Amino acid sequence: MDYFTLLNLSQTFDLDQSALEKSYFRAQRQFHPDRFVGKPDHERMAAMQRSVDMNKAYESLKDPLTRAQHLLS
């Protein structure tokens, strides 16, 4: 999974931290599991998985070492 694509960012090591945060919070507002309360189970589970993936992407990309590892993988 490409974390840059997931958060709609360009693949670069010199990542603008404010752009990363804006992309992350925009995506979380759209796919946060709380927005899927009352929806069918498959939609809730998909939103939960998407939220988990975005959290992993954000944590990975905000750290220079893990960002470099992700770029090299």
| Ordered per-residue pLDDT tens for the chain, 73 residues | 899 999 999 999 999 999 999 999 999 998 888 889 899 999 999 999 999 999 999 999 999 999 999 999 9
Total length of the chain? 73
Measure the CA–CA gap between 47 and 30, rounded to whole angstroms: 9
pTM (two decimals): 0.86
The answer to whether 54 and 7 are in contact (CB under 8 A) is: yes
- Cα Rg of the chain, angstroms: 13
